[in-house]
Structure 1
């Protein structure tokens, strides 16, 4: 893969992402293996790739393109499928992530957040917000929704780290973790069949056993996929969002003065801060026929990479896109994707970010990074470039 937009760990750098929209919104690039592919960076064109059925997720799989960790499951996951198979699986879980049901979770998410922050406040500065809040909050929430026992959460996080690894762990260790995760999920499903509860996983079991709406492999894969998706991405965005706020003290001051800005601040975080997927790997499709896009002719059976971070910095969509502005009307971003594959847990992730960011700003007066921004440590060798730690200090 070309290296002009990569840092030493293989991730798209923020500077490079911000430069991509200055180039052609649709263009060819060459991988290290000599493959010709297409990179799409304009907002209008990215939305087209993610919503037009001629850009197919399943076709990319048929061409042998690996699409994230789900590609190593025994069966294609929900994100590897096109309609109607994708639609069938999505409908099974969509109800659990409805706006009404997500809103009902706010008191519990607030309670979890308060419990996680309290020891840090009691201990006094400095502290590590990544370990104390950013990682445990989303994992706790998604495990409660799915019905994963509390005592198993740390074990699952160890597996998730390895499954989401690109080079941090040897391939055989990642595969072993995936095998363990699949085995654990199968055992948990059996346990819930013997002792039913009110979890989302129980709803999926009912859909499998009583309605025959999915296979056993699909049931296990969905459970694993929801756990994976519900943890690392939200943790990463929370950490990077807090870094962005502390790196822009005027915005942090404005948010502290007016907490009603929290929802728009979250949207700006999602627009401005990239998850850090490895270059060109995040949203991959392949064309099922010749397609005209952005003034370019893309041949059938071409692999296309939609760069969401660059689209979120497209000046045609967001004036002065390099400026971090929590009062911006930035809700039209594509941080959660677009079209049929838009992230099912988008509303849940936004709620967690709203509760966590609002609570941190209120609980830690004078909050600031304890190290220079460039010294905040990031995890290397993972699909998502999360924070290894978030060292902060504040007025006690």
Structure 2
């Protein structure tokens, strides 16, 4: 018997296919209920699935729902391996302690100082695309190198090593694309690589984020050696992987919404609001991840969640909730009120959100200005999508103009 007084079995989850950018209709049906649904993910214990905006916001923002409580539990997940420890499995104050050394790098002022160099990089990449001539793979020649250069410059990581750490970074977003053994191998390689860079910074400090993290350990003893390695590795992996995927995802969506794209090309001042709308509209996550455990009995909407129960919040579903977003399944680049969960919410709100916004704004404005007739150079895009990841995106995107 569930908390809702029914004996319905847990629903298999995730719903539908994990490729492309479609949102399964099951989310809409579940949002119409006052209660949350019981779901069974491929691995771990059964969980509650939060699909309505207010329920997702409550789970993400209420300190009675804990990420730290996942440690030692069979957390519901889409990966065979446990999701691991580190900052994503912490609650305040430990979570706050780890975020503190890097917060200064992501202030609005510091991010805006990076914009001119990012614009220059974007134009340089398009110059290169034009010299190659169409068709050109947008993923390889634009969507990947731009975020990689930005995060490498910020952290102080050699751009020339990108082939190494980009390969290893897949371990952080793999569901089935890599075996558990390969995931551990890649994570170990990335940690060893970061440890080597940390050793260099101890000898030769620099004006970069990696040096700031080292100083937080060596000078102020704010974080441990292992936390320092995990934090830097996570920033490097997350700092480029999600933005790489979203640049190509955004352009793919705009190619299929020509009227909205024309609004942006006609009025570039719409770029910031368009980025917010695309963050809401594009379902980046193939499945809800990172469950929260109730530390005491909590009522969420019409559901009583007992202490010890896990809840998985669906950002994708919340971003399509009609109680918050008018006509939520329609892309509207002029949408004014847009309190989306594209970067999460609460203590675990993405620390690099400002940086990602800036990169996405620069990418769209430069591409739409320099290549206004950009279009997909493939009749069938079925084979272009990545598979076996917790995030959606294209492995290649041949374009012409």
- The answer, yes or no, to whether TM exceeds 0.5 is yes
- 8 Å CA contact 1:276–1:386 kept in 2: the answer is no
SS of equivalent to 1:175: helix
1:286 to 293, 317, 324: 293
Given the superposition, is the C-alpha separation of residues 47 and 72 from structure 1 closer, same or farther in structure 2, using an over 3 Å criterion?
Answer: closer
Residue 166 of structure 1, CA deviation: 2.0
2:22 corresponds to 1:24: no
Q: CA separation of 1:16/1:140 partners in 2, compared to 1, >3 Å: closer, same or farther?
A: farther
Pair 1:159 & 2:159 matched: no
- Between stretches 304-313 and 378-387, larger displacement belongs to 378-387
Match for residue 203 of structure 2? 194
SS at match of 1:108: helix
Partner of 1:232: 241
Deviation of the 1:124 alpha carbon:
2.7
- Whether 1:36 aligns to 2:46 is yes
3-state secondary structure, aligned to 1:28 = strand
Over the aligned positions, Cα root-mean-square deviation in angstroms equals: 2.2
In the superposition, the TM-score normalised over structure 1's length comes to 0.92
- Runs (4+) off by over 6 Å: 66-70
Bigger mean CA offset, 315-324 vs 53-62: 53-62
**Aligned: 1:357 with 2:364:** yes
Confirm whether residue 331 of structure 1 aligns to residue 338 of structure 2: yes
State the match for 2:3 in structure 1.
none
TM-score (structure 2 length as normaliser): 0.91
Q: Which residue of 2 aligns with 1:5?
A: 15
Is the CA contact (8 Å cut-off) linking 1:291 and 1:298 kept in structure 2? yes
Partner of 1:321: 328
For this pair of structures, how many residues does the alignment match? 389
Question: Could you tell me which residue of structure 2 aligns to residue 269 of structure 1?
Answer: 278
Q: Secondary structure at the match of 1:392?
A: strand
Match of 1:113 in 2: 122
Question: 1: CA distance between counterparts of 2:173 and 2:219?
Answer: 33
Match of 2:399 among 387, 392, 396: 392
Measure, in 2, the Cα distance between the counterparts of 1:44 and 1:148: 40
Deviates more, 1:32-41 or 1:251-260: 32-41
Matches for 1:87-98 after TM superposition, within 5 Å: 87-98=96-107
Listed as ranges, the matches of 1:293-304 within 5 Å are 293-304=300-311
Please tell me whether the aligned partners of residues 138 and 230 of structure 1 are also in contact (alpha carbons under 8 angstroms): yes
Matched, 1:346 2:353: yes
Distance 2:288 2:119 in 1: 36
SS at match of 2:101: helix
Equivalent residue number for residue 86 of structure 2: 77
Gaps of 5+ in 2: 1-10
When residues 51 and 185 of structure 1 are mapped into structure 2, their CA distance, relative to the original with a 3 A threshold, is same
Q: Does 1:222 align with 2:231?
A: yes
CA–CA separation in structure 2 for the residues paired with 1:330 and 1:370: 35
SS in 2 for 1:62: coil
